[in-house]
Structures are given as structure tokens and as C-alpha cells.
Structure 1
Amino acid sequence: MVASSQPLKLWPSWKIPYTFALDCPDDIRQGALDAIHEIETYTCVRFCEKRSENNHIEISTHSHNGKYTWTLHGTLPDDVRTKADPSLASYKNRLYFAWRDDQANGNMYIGFLDAFHKWSGKFHIPHDARTISTPKLAVFADQLYVFWQGAGAGSNIWYASTDGNGHWTAQKHKDIYTRSSPAVVAHNDQLHLVWQGYDNQLLYARLDAYDHLDGPFSIYNYKVVSAPALGIFNDRLYLAWQEDYLLNKTSNLWYADFDGAQWSGKVRIADFGAGASPTLCAYQQSLIMAWPSFVPDRYFVQYAYYTGQPTP
């Protein structure tokens, strides 16, 4: 990957060591960076995914060695293909992937890499579960949860969980309309969800181990254009999103944080736009966010890391 000299104006609490492009930009579509996650058992523990033009899922590793280098790790087998963003989670010493099939059937699949980089094969998420966007993974109460936007009328939020040994719970749903995949993280014995509502507003809710839903709540009537991202850092919940272009004629990236009682006001991360939704993950005492660029015909992948200073 090649570093770019393109200057980026960021808030003081965010740092950006590099803007980088993949070696073969013609092979990368806009919205290339789809997921980023940490798994402890690998030498290079930062993973990101992108979709190639043939719908394969390719993986790169990020090494926090002072140079912030990315290395192509490989491509998942030929039968693993998607036109939507895949999702990642580390669970029981495995790196799990979830994705929507690249066909029009809306089927969802799951698979994993073990500690020896051995691929498990793909498995259909059961009970005829279907989606029109990206299934999202979260680890909660010693289970691996999958959340998705329903494919039928209503586009409600659905979910199911597995113990990693092939046993799945029945799928459940909440009567909550969503226009995108919900962002999901586990924190303080609850699952936290944020999604794009009917009028593009940001909505938030909490789900406990007994399937009790607290919410939804509107987050200051903020508007989004695509699926938001959630991450946990310094015992706080962080939310990042791409601004609704039709609202302000920009695609800027914004974030807010939640202390358990209330959300902070929104803060613009940088003075530029994004080509698609961002993604968040805490890693080595930083909160890392990555996103595809907004530069036409130049598919850079950009990222910044948050140093933990107070919200401006």
C-alpha cells in the first residue's frame, strides 16, 4: 500500500498517520474498506476487509509497529462472495466473518479462520434468515450474535445467536424499522444498537440478556446517509457516521460519545467527505476509524485514530 501526501484537516484529538491506497486501485470499488476488527492470536492483529470487483473478500493485516503498515493477507475461498459489506468478530479464539450472498436471494453465511489461519468453510445462517444489507456480529453473554435488517416488508431488526458449535437460537425480531444494518456492540452487560431510521435519523436502543429492549431513542435528530458505526473506548460508547448529503450537501464524518447517561454533541472528525460508511474499533490504546475516500475515481482507504483527549 502506498502512502498519499494528501493533507487532511482533523480535529486535534484525532491523528492520521497515513492516507493510503491499495496497490491496484483499479481493482477496488468505492466503499472498499468494509470491516475492521482485532483478534489477539495473530501476529498482525488488525484486520480489514474489502470487496474486490469479482465480489471476493480480501483481507489485509495492520501492524502497529510505528509505521502503520498494511499487508495483504489473502483472499477467502472462491465460494465466499458478497456485494454487501462483510462483518467481523473475534470469538473463542476464532476470527468470524458474516456476509450476505452476492446473489439476489438474500441468504446469509458465516465462517471463521482459526488460530492457524485455517478456513472453516461457509455455513448458512439457519431458519431461512434473509437480509437486504449486511449481517452484523457481536459477542455477548458467551454467545456470538448476528443482527440483520429483514428482507421482507417492514425491514425490522432481526437477530439470533450461536455457541460456535453449530447450535443456533431461534431468530427473533423487534418491531423497529431500519433503513440499514444496525451497528451493534456489547458493553456493561447490554447490547447497544444504533441504526438509520425511517427518516434517516440516528436511533439508539439497548438490549439485555433477557431480550428486553430499552428504546428506541433519537440521538438529537441527527441525520445519516448510511449505516453508522459503534465502538467501545475508555469505557465509553463511540458512534461515527456519514452525514446525510441531501441535508447539508456534504458527506463529512462525525462522531459522538455516550457516557451511559447521555450523548455528547456531534463533532466533525475532519474537513473532508467519505465515500461510504466508516468503521470503528479500539486497538492498542487508540480508537481507530477507517473509511473509503470521497475522491471520484481514486479509491483511497483513509483512517485516523483517536487519542483519548476530551471531546472538543
Structure 2
Amino acid sequence: MWCATFDGSSWSSDQLIKNDDHAYGISGSPALAVFNDKLYCIRQGRGNSGWIWCATFDGNAWSDDQLIPNNDHAYGISGSPALAVFNDKLYCVHQGRSDSGWLWCATFDGNSWSADQLIPHSNNAYGLSASPALAVYNGKLYCARQGRDDSGWVWCSTFDGNSWSDDKLIPTPGNAYGVSDSPALASFQNKLYCARQGRGNSGWIWCATFDGQSWTNDRLIPSSNNAYGISGSPALVEFNGQLYCFHQGRGNDGWLWCGALPSA
């Protein structure tokens, strides 16, 4: 696992974490979130281990890497997890082991992890392919992902703190957004952004926004004549008044690219 930081002007050197002699293992992509003044880094272990590992950074040093909730009873995973802080808890959603095609969720209250559960419940779980995306918007937790069996369409459900909504194709069943691999979600300037690679491994990034009432048309970004190239899945994050989109370049080029949307 490698990490670099950006201070708004320049990037640091890229470093193995925890350190060169004791780096964290990883398969797929990591998920990051700040909770109770610590940075949490959660991911699948090396060699597609099928188990979730977690480490934290307190601003000075990284913790030891640990299976969660513990070494004897780790959460199973396929692909990559997603993290978000909602109602004073850290939510971790992920696909079950062995490409199960079903969505699981566990929460951390600052002291202990909950049991891992199919959502919304064991008899009617949400389906997915690859990995989910999470974001908090207008007092709800949004979970977007590609449907089961590499469907190529984006599904979304929400959690209001008490119950999960029905799962829906977005924006509508008759006109769903296409996706390859996994989407990315972020709240920025009172809108929810959903970015992803287009269907059929198109190699270009598409983005749509939600204003709390309706979703916009899907667009290539930054424009239809000069779209960002991509392999795999993007990541979105707001920093210093800009929305950043990170992604691997087209053709599995192995390099990290970044574009930014300035504040209006």
C-alpha cells in the first residue's frame, strides 16, 4: 500500500505505509474516511484474501494493521469496500466473499464493530457487481453500485438512519446510467455527484448529479469533445473548495490521473 498527500499546492513523495519495512498488504482498492479525528484505511488483504483489514492514522503515525472486527471472525469481502461517516458511526459496505453478488454492511461506533449484515435484510439483499460507493447527502446515506452479474447499469438505495429504501435504477428504470466496474459518489456544493466509466469498458468518464429531487442527464467530463480517459473505477473527493476526480488512465496504463471541478 502506497500513500501520497496534497497540501493544496504540491504533492508529497509517494511512500509505502506503514513504512518501507512493514507495508500494508492490499488487493483491489482501499477506502478512506475520517472518523473521531483519525483517518481509517480499509481494504481487502493481499492475494485476494477475501478478508477486510483496517489501519488508522492519528496525524503522526499509522497503527498496526488488523483484521476487523477481530482475527478470529473477520468480515469477508470481494473487490473493494466503501466507507462513510453517518449519524456518528463509520459505515463499511462491501460485496461478500467469493463474488457473492450481495451487499453487506457493518458499522463502528468508536469502540466496537457491529455484526456484518446483508442489507436491507437477509431475505432481500441488494445485488451488486464489483464494489459499492457511499456518500452522505441531505441527511441520508446513499449507496450506489453496478447491478449483479456485471449488469452495466447503476443502482442506488438510501438509508435514513432507520431503514433502507427500495433499490432503484437511476435515474429511471427505462433510462439508467451505464457503468463498468464501480461508480464513485461525492457531495459537492449541494449536489450529489456520481462518476464512473461508461458501459462496456468504454474508457471514458461519465458524470451525473442529483439535486435532491432529480438526476441530470449523464455527461462525459469535462466535455464530450475532451473526456477524461479511464481504466477501472474513479474516486471522488472534495478538497479546498474543489471536487477532485482520481483515476487510472486508459488502457490500464498504470498511472494515476486527476481532474478537478472548481467551486462555482
Whether the TM-score (by the shorter chain) exceeds 0.5 is yes
Aligned-partner residue type, residue 92 of structure 1? N
Aligned to 1:180, what secondary structure does the other structure show? strand
The residue that corresponds to 1:224 in the other structure is 179
Residue 243 (structure 1) aligned to one of 188, 191, 198: 198
Partner of 1:100 in structure 2? 44
Q: Which residue of 201, 206, 213 maps to 1:254?
A: 206
**What residue ranges of structure 2 are gaps of 5+ in the alignment?**
120-124
Cα distance, 1:300–1:79 mapped onto 2, change above 3 Å: closer
The aligned amino acid for 2:169 is S
CA contact (8 A) 2:132 2:145 kept: yes
Match in the other structure for 2:147: 197
**Deviation string for 1:5-24 (max 9, x for gaps)?**
xxxxxxxxxxxxxxxxxxxx
Q: Structure 1 residues 81 and 154 mapped into 2: Cα distance closer, same or farther (>3 Å)?
A: closer
Tell me by how many angstroms 1:308 deviates.
4.1
- The code of the aligned residue for 1:132 comes to S
Deviation track 1:200-235 (CA, whole Å, cap 9, x = no partner) reads: 21011101212x111211113222111100001012
State the SS of the aligned residue for 2:169.
strand
Give, in angstroms, the shift of residue 187 of structure 1: 2.2
Deviations 1:249-277 (A, max 9, x none): x3110100001111110110043521221
Computed over aligned residues only, the root mean square deviation of the Cα atoms, in angstroms, reads 1.8
Q: Aligned-pair distance for 1:133?
A: 0.8
Structure 1 segments, 4+ long, off by >4 Å, are none
1:267 aligns with 2:198: no
Q: 1:176 and 1:152 mapped to 2: Cα distance? A: 16
One-letter code aligned to 2:212: G
The answer on whether the counterparts of 2:180 and 2:198 sit within 8 Å (CA) in structure 1 is yes
Of the three residues 294, 299, 302, the one matched with 2:254 is 299
C-alpha separation between the residues in 1 aligned to 2:247 and 2:198?
13
Distance in 2 between the 1:105 and 1:299 partners?
A: 22
Determine what percentage of the aligned residue pairs are the same residue.
26
- Amino acid paired to 1:162: F
| TM-aligned CA distance change 1:207 to 1:287, over 3 Å | same
Look up the match of 1:157. 103
User: What TM-score comes out, normalization by structure 2 length?
Assistant: 0.86
Moved more, 263-272 or 138-147: 263-272
Alignment-mate amino acid for residue 125 of structure 1:
I
Question: Can you list the C-alpha shifts for 1:78-128, whole angstroms capped at 9, x where unaligned?
Answer: 352012101101111111100101134301011101022x11111211244
| Match of residue 40 from structure 1 | none
Show the 5 A alignment for 1:69-80. Answer: 69-72=10-13, 74-77=15-18, 78=22, 80=24
Q: Mapping of 1:1-312 within 5 angstroms?
A: 57-65=1-9, 69-72=10-13, 74-77=15-18, 78=22, 80-116=24-60, 118-126=61-69, 127-151=73-97, 154-165=100-111, 167-174=112-119, 175-198=125-148, 199-210=151-162, 212-219=163-170, 220-245=175-200, 250-269=202-221, 270-295=226-251, 298-309=253-264
SS in 2 for 1:276: strand
The answer (yes or no) to whether the contact 2:27–2:79 under 8 Å persists in 1 is no
Q: Which runs of 5+ in 1 are unaligned?
A: 1-56
